[in-house]
Amino acid sequence: MKQRSECIAMLLAGGEGRRLGVLTKDLAKPAVHFGGKYRIIDFTLSNCVNSGIDTVGVLTQYQPLVLNQYLGIGSPWGLDRRDGGMHVLPPYVRQKGGVWYKGTANAIYQNMGFIERYDPEYVLIISGDHIYKMDYDLLLESHKRNRADATLAVITVPWADASRFGILSVDEEDRVVEFAEKPKQPKSNLASMGVYIFSWPVLRDALMRDEAQSGSSNDFGKDVIPTLLREGARLYAHRFGGYWKDVGTIDSLWEANMDLLADEPALDLNDRAWRIYSVNPNRPAHYLSPQASVQNSLINEGCVVQGQVNRSVLFHGVRIGEGSMIEDAVIMPHAVIGRNVRIVRAIVGEGAIVGDGCTIGAIDAEEIAVVGSGDHIEAEPKLEEANPV
Amino acid sequence: MKLSLMGVINLIHETEEMGTLTANRCLATVPFGGRYRLIDFALSSMVNSGIPKVAIFAHTKYRSLIDHLGSGGNWDLHRKQSGLFVLPPAMESQSDFGKGDLYHFYRHRDYFARSPLEYVVIARSHMVCNIDFGRVLAHHRERNADITVVCKRWPNAETGLTRKAELDADGRVVDMQDHYGRLASDIVSMEMYVLRKELLLDLVETSLAQGKDHFVRHAILSRLQELHVSAYLHEGVLGVVNSIPAFYRHNMELLKPEVWNELFFSPGPIYTKVKDEPPTRYRSGSQVSGSLVANGCEIEGSVQGSILFRGVKIRKGAVVRNSIVMQNGVIGEDGALENCILDKEVEIRPQQQLKGSSHMPFLALKRNVI
């Protein structure tokens, strides 16, 4: 007998993360490291599980190797289930040929067959690009309460930033009256988080019509939602008050890591009622040598610290040599920092090697310094060494 | 290549003087090294050696064992073929419970009989090491031995309870005595025995038929003349953790980077139950050095020469020196610990000071509030 799921999730994980530059060389954006231990996608996957959603389709496209290996069959998130569970859904070839996912809506359209196997009442659309902890069950409740066709999770953003988001205007009952994608003159500061719940028949119908529409970019924010709104569908906003961050740029990725070091971080990773699950690297407890000093930092398993670390985030397996000083920095997994190195306001990519005596970044630098994943950096030879007598 | 070797970790009648650390758990699940249980070392070594099938012969207080091992997935032993078998005592009557391990081997003989694997390695849980059993088996075949016992040349073995062995020039065991014996030798047994499955089943049946039920004493030590028992000498790090001073000492050994590096990485990684704790949070004012710190801790105070397990909280002004604080321990503001072992979930109230000696550390019971 086929099990019916009330609500299944479709997680868009095809993001390229182009603005993350050398950190996404071989990596889709959802696989980018965050918070000393996690990858960005861990947050949405953990949210699903903690919200009681046990069926998740993960739509991958760009650079899927690392992401696929990371996701496996979903066991780290408890999503290796007999019924439902996690399924990786790359674009595939059909009888009439296959195409890449053209846009967010097209990605879901191409996987309507997957959704229908579960015959859900509701479909949650989320992306693997944001850091936040959210109970999707509350979103579903408000969707049902409003007898909505679609419910959009929204967050209040500073007016100055409003033109970077999809902005909603709502009436007194939070029904959406207007939706503008990245408006030059925003009429409100309620931003769409890219988290939607649709009643499945409504979404199904909307996707088919959107696909038939030539000239559509097949995107939820640009096409599907504006069309539904124009047609008078019942679209509601669901207000979210917690921490939510798009870590699409080097600056925002660095900032979001630093946010974790606040006295009372807005994003609590130590909340046992809302654990963030991830693939655990199986490393021993980290070791601080007798010379080490660590202040206001996050350090993961398997690190060996022999220098000084201030206001920094160290991922698993990082090594910091003697006499080195790490400040306001994010050091990704397995990076090896030599002796007498100074790293300030920087992100050092996964597996990078920074040789003895190097200096990276500066306290007054405007831009965050970046060492790419796997890069090998050596100090400039000193003059006397370069010209042996 | 797949090893034709099956594993047994034998928890029946383990010799230990661990005080309250084993009040509610078996020796195999005594926490060790910041995030492990003692059994993780033997189990991970077996898995890394390519042993496809491991049985744990449980005996007493095995709730924590079953909780820890689960389906074996964390050791990659949750498999369709072979994998992990946790076998509690299968007795005919309650009075059989106290019988020797050979009796329990006999009751579990189907575990051996059903498998096509040729050889068996029988180990204990309290030998903290990282060892390749493939090399032990190769040694066993090369020497054409009946039984190979893993030993270590270990001159300073004073803290644990170990059997000592005397070898001849070819490395054959000519004498072996229990830990209270008088044999003066710097060769200690690591209580790991490799032998053919047929020989094991034969030893089990003939010994039991003669009314003898102790694997090492009756099946092996009393047959040193007739069987070729060869010693394989382990070169790597070893901790024999079956007394409180040994537990303390071998934990503290991990603070030497070379020991940490070898024990946890070479020849393979040590696996344990995953807890999904976030990275450890060091707050402003924390002073931590020469220490081993697991994930999920929150540190505002000062920690020197100590081992903190997962989820430990060190409040402002607290000072922890040369101590072991197990999972979820809390050291209140301005508390002070020196030479202490705190079992899981112990809370030290603010300003409280506790001090043990380096030879006999102060040991606090699980969930105590002091």
Query: What's the rounded mean pLDDT across residues B331-355?
Result: 96
**Confidence (pLDDT) at A356:** 96
pLDDT tier for residue A382 given thresholds of 50, 70 and 90: low
pLDDT tier for residue A150 given thresholds of 50, 70 and 90: very high
Q: In terms of CA atoms, which chain B residue is nearest residue A292? A: B289
Q: Answer whether residue B157 shows pLDDT above 70.
A: no
Query: What's the rounded mean pLDDT across residues A48-63?
Result: 93
Q: Whole-angstrom Cα distance, residue A48 to residue A71? A: 14
Q: What angle do helix axes A64-71 and A41-50 make, rounded to 10 degrees?
A: 30
**Confidence (pLDDT) at B173:** 95
Which of B18-27, B124-133, B157-166, B183-192 shows the lowest per-residue confidence on average (mean pLDDT)? B157-166
Q: Whole-angstrom Cα distance, residue B49 to residue B134? A: 6
Summarize chain A as % helix, strand, coil (round to 5). Answer: 25, 30, 45
Q: Is residue A273 part of a domain?
A: no
Whether residues A154 and A12 share a domain: the answer is: yes
**Confidence (pLDDT) at B158:** 67
Whether residues A171 and A292 share a domain: the answer is: no
**Confidence (pLDDT) at A381:** 62
**Confidence (pLDDT) at A174:** 95
- A89 in contact with chain B, both atoms CB, cutoff 8 A: no
Q: Which of B274, B288, B292 sits opposite A285 (nearest CB)?
A: B292
Over the stretch B17-29, which tens digit does the pLDDT of each residue have? 999 999 999 999 9
Q: Chain B closest CA to A262's CA: distance in Å?
A: 9
Q: Are both B5-265 and B281-364 of the same fold?
A: no
Q: Which of A291, A292, A298 sits opposite B279 (nearest CB)?
A: A298
Query: What's the rounded mean pLDDT across residues A204-230?
Result: 93
Contacts (Cβ under 8 Å, ≥6 apart) of B93: none
Work out whether strand A55-59 and strand A7-12 pair parallel, antiparallel, or are unpaired: parallel
Q: Answer whether residue A33 shows pLDDT above 60.
A: yes
**Confidence (pLDDT) at B48:** 96
Q: What is the four-CA torsion angle of A137, A143, A149, A154, rounded to 10 degrees? A: -80
Nearest residue to A276 via CA among A83, A106, A89, A78: A78
The answer to whether the Cβ–Cβ distance between A286 and B293 falls below 8 Å is yes
- Residue pair A176/A168 in contact (Cβ under 8 Å)? The answer is yes
The answer to whether the Cβ–Cβ distance between B308 and A269 falls below 8 Å is no
* Domain-wise residue ranges, chain B: 5-265, 281-364
Which residues of chain A lie closer than 8 angstroms to B280, CB-CB?
Answer: 286, 298-300
Whether residues A184 and A95 share a domain: the answer is: yes
Number of structural domains in chain A:
2
Q: Tell me which residue has tokens 């086929």.
A: A2
Q: Which domain holds residue A95?
A: 7-259
Q: Whole-angstrom Cα distance, residue A104 to residue A109? A: 9
- Residue pair B276/B260 in contact (Cβ under 8 Å)? The answer is no
Q: Answer whether residue A284 shows pLDDT above 90.
A: yes
- A262 in contact with chain B, both atoms CB, cutoff 8 A: no
- Residue pair B214/B102 in contact (Cβ under 8 Å)? The answer is yes
**Confidence (pLDDT) at B81:** 85
Q: Whole-angstrom Cα distance, residue B268 to residue B122? A: 20
Query: What's the rounded mean pLDDT across residues A4-18?
Result: 86
Contacts (Cβ under 8 Å, ≥6 apart) of B25: B61, B63, B64, B65
CATH 2.160.10.10 is held by the domain B281-364: yes
Whichever domain contains A348, its CATH number is 2.160.10.10
Query: What's the rounded mean pLDDT across residues A175-193?
Result: 93
Tell whether ipTM is more than 0.90: yes
Query: What's the rounded mean pLDDT across residues A293-299?
Result: 97
- The tokens describing B110, both together, are 């189907």
The answer to whether the Cβ–Cβ distance between B279 and A300 falls below 8 Å is yes
Whether residues A247 and A129 share a domain: the answer is: yes
- The tokens describing B138, both together, are 């190769």
Whether residues A174 and A102 share a domain: the answer is: yes
Q: What angle do CA A159, A160, A166 make, to 5 degrees?
A: 65
Q: What percent of chain A has pLDDT over 90?
A: 79
Q: Whole-angstrom Cα distance, residue A55 to residue A49? A: 9
Query: What's the rounded mean pLDDT across residues B306-313?
Result: 97
Q: Which of B269, B284, B293 sits opposite A288 (nearest CB)?
A: B293
The answer to whether the Cβ–Cβ distance between A288 and B274 falls below 8 Å is no
Whichever domain contains A113, its CATH number is 3.90.550.10
- Residue pair A175/A146 in contact (Cβ under 8 Å)? The answer is yes
The answer to whether the Cβ–Cβ distance between B292 and A284 falls below 8 Å is yes
pLDDT tier for residue A2 given thresholds of 50, 70 and 90: very low
Backbone angles phi, psi at B87, to 5 degrees: -115, 105
Query: What's the rounded mean pLDDT across residues B97-101?
Result: 90
- A contact residues 110-149, partner B, Cβ 8 Å cutoff: none
Query: What's the rounded mean pLDDT across residues B247-276?
Result: 95
Q: Whole-angstrom Cα distance, residue B148 to residue B227? A: 10
pLDDT tier for residue A383 given thresholds of 50, 70 and 90: low
Interface with chain A: mutation pick from B79, B266, B274, highest number of A CBs within 10 Å: B274
- Per DSSP, B239 falls in state E
**Confidence (pLDDT) at A5:** 82
Q: Which of B34, B270, B289 sits opposite A292 (nearest CB)?
A: B289
The answer to whether the Cβ–Cβ distance between A299 and B270 falls below 8 Å is no
- A278 in contact with chain B, both atoms CB, cutoff 8 A: yes
Report the CATH number of the B5-265 domain: 3.90.550.10
pLDDT tier for residue A100 given thresholds of 50, 70 and 90: confident
Nearest residue to B248 via CA among B163, B155, B339: B339
- B34 in contact with chain A, both atoms CB, cutoff 8 A: yes
N-term to C-term CA, chain A: 84
Q: What is the DSSP string of A164-208?
A: GSEEEEE-TT-BEEEEEES-SS-S--EEEEEEEEEEHHHHHHHHH
- Per DSSP, A3 falls in state P
The residue ranking higher by pLDDT, A93 or A129, is A129
Over the stretch A117-128, which tens digit does the pLDDT of each residue have? 999 999 999 999
- Residue pair A117/A96 in contact (Cβ under 8 Å)? The answer is no
Q: Which of B35, B290, B296 sits opposite A289 (nearest CB)?
A: B290
The residue ranking higher by pLDDT, B85 or A93, is B85
Which residues of chain A lie closer than 8 angstroms to B298, CB-CB?
Answer: 270
- Is A101 annotated in a binding site? The answer is yes
**Max CA distance (Å), chain A:** 84
**Confidence (pLDDT) at A248:** 84
- Residue pair B24/B68 in contact (Cβ under 8 Å)? The answer is no
Query: What's the rounded mean pLDDT across residues B243-256?
Result: 94
Q: Whole-angstrom Cα distance, residue A299 to residue A312? A: 8
Q: Answer whether residue A385 shows pLDDT above 60.
A: no
Whether residues A229 and A368 share a domain: the answer is: no
Three-state secondary structure call for residue A107: helix
**Confidence (pLDDT) at B261:** 93
**Confidence (pLDDT) at A386:** 45
Whether residues A206 and A303 share a domain: the answer is: no
Q: Is residue A272 part of a domain?
A: no
Over the stretch A349-358, which tens digit does the pLDDT of each residue have? 999 999 999 9
Q: Is residue A252 part of a domain?
A: yes
Q: Chain B closest CA to A48's CA: distance in Å?
A: 16
* A/B interface, count of CB pairs below 8 Å: 108
